[in-house]
Amino acid sequence: MKAGFISLGCSKNLVDTEVMLGILRQNGYELVNEAAEADVLIVNTCAFIESAKEESITTVLTMVEYKEPGKGRCKSLIIAGCLGQRYGQELLDDLPEADGIIGTGSWHRIMEAIEETLAGNRVVINRENEIIYDASVPRIPTTPSYTAYVKIAEGCNNRCAFCAIPLIRGRYRSRSVEDICQEVEALVAKGVREIVLIAQDTTNYGHDIYGEPSLARLLKELCRIEGIKWLRTLYSYPKFFTDELIEVIASEEKLVKYVDIPLQHANDEILRAMHRPDTKAEVTALLQKLRERIPGVVIRSTFIVGFPGETDAQYQELKEFLQQQRFDHVGIFTYSREEDTAAAEMEGQVPEEVMQDRYHDLKATQSLISQQLNEALEGQVLEVLVEGRTEDGMPYGRSYRQADDVDDSIYIEDDRTSQVGDMVKVRILQGFTEDLVGELVR
């Protein structure tokens, strides 16, 4: 039997896909990249915002054609992940073409779902939401051989008014330091050079099992593992960004000086309405501390425009905050009204056209900042991890300043020797809004 996966959404969802791939291979399934060759097709879906849900449904419907004779051999089409967890039987009823649903907390039952659907039964398995994979679970990384994501915790206890993740993935639950180290050691033994730690809120790591935020402790232990070149942490909320954590990032050589810290807004009234625990003053003080104690630190953040009740003045405060802070990388989103969230019922829903105007204005503001920051890198020499080549043969990759999949790339002129996975020294020649161009330092 052959199985094919389509994984949508975030890197946390991708890890779930990799774990299910491992379980299928362990049970004798051949994994294929072509949907037309698969007896079983599994779409691991995202349901974070409306556009993600639409993409997930469209992808599922696209896979339906492979159930038709002459186009494919699919006997079972399963919807996995967030969409299945959130809508369950309702989703299966609305999509008669699908054969089964498996939720985010039921990945370990993927073989049960497959066997039931192949037997002709339509099933929904989405009641469980209290487990997280561990180092003993088989996993097949789908990322390039030199980098891998490691999920250190699952779920979320933050009840941000706009976010449905706690409803979908449940309460926050951490893996032990020992178990994470065991997985990382196994990945490094296979040649992985960059480890990227992820969770819905990485700075809250360990609070549930150790009684206090323990990311700093985990990072210290991981830095002792030989073979790691870069250790990167994403989704670090400001609430538990302790002084100890800052000092660990500053002092440990393997930890890249890159902080991903979702802030969402800069106006205190909007932050309170979002149910965010931080104030603008507290965030500003944290950013100043990060820059003072970690020389060369790169800071990435995300922001939402058009949250219910956001006035022109409050939006302008957010814009001025970006102009003052000059973040290295910024993700900007328009507010998405999600059912069953606190914000969905709030008064003052901002019209779509107003949100779009603010979105494009803030994007333009950040684009100018990004261009200026990239131009300021001209002449500097950075260590670059080569990730591929363009169609005309130019290598490109990332330095410590860029995270995989979300940030810009560095293109290396007149380099015909570097191979994917190499770490090379590159002098930056030109900085643009999104990317940089450099030359190999021989």
Answer yes or no: are the C-beta atoms of 78 and 117 closer than 8 Å: yes
Residue 227, sorted as left (phi over 0), alpha (psi -120 to 50) or beta, turns out to be left
pLDDT of residue 134: 94
Tokens 């779409």 map to which residue? 43
What tokens appear for 216 in the block?
């700093």
pLDDT of residue 110: 95
pLDDT band at 47 (very low <50, low <70, confident <90, very high): confident
Condensed to tens digits (0 to 9), the pLDDT of residues 257-294 reads: 999 999 999 999 999 999 999 999 999 999 999 999 99
What residue type is 212 in one-letter code?
E
- Measured between alpha carbons, how far is 283 from 315 in angstroms, rounded to an integer? 17
- Classify 425 as helix, strand or coil: strand
3-state DSSP of 184-249: HHHHHHCCCCEEEEECCCHHHCCHHHHCCCCHHHHHHHHHCCCCCCEEEECCCCHHHCCHHHHHHH
How far lies 233's CA from each of 153, 202, 326, 368, in Å? 12, 7, 21, 26
Which has more confidence, 76 or 405? 76
- Measured between alpha carbons, how far is 11 from 283 in angstroms, rounded to an integer? 26
Condensed to tens digits (0 to 9), the pLDDT of residues 19-40 reads: 999 999 999 999 999 999 999 9
Condensed to tens digits (0 to 9), the pLDDT of residues 63-75 reads: 999 999 889 999 9
Report the DSSP pairing between strands 123-125 and 2-7.
unpaired
pLDDT at 128 over 80: no
Tokens 């440990």 map to which residue? 252
pLDDT of residue 131: 80
How far lies 31's CA from each of 102, 109, 126, 260, in Å? 19, 18, 24, 34
pLDDT of residue 109: 93
Beta bridge partners of 151: 198
- Measured between alpha carbons, how far is 410 from 434 in angstroms, rounded to an integer? 9
- Measured between alpha carbons, how far is 364 from 362 in angstroms, rounded to an integer? 5
Type and span of the H or E element at 292: helix 280-293
- Angle in degrees, CA 310, 316, 319, rounded to 5: 110
**pTM reported for the whole predicted model:** 0.94
pLDDT at 399 over 90: yes
- Measured between alpha carbons, how far is 317 from 315 in angstroms, rounded to an integer? 5
Closest CA to 304 of 339, 267, 340, 329: 267
How far lies 350's CA from each of 225, 228, 358, 402, in Å? 49, 46, 11, 33
pLDDT at 394 over 90: yes
For residues 422-427, give the mean pLDDT: 96
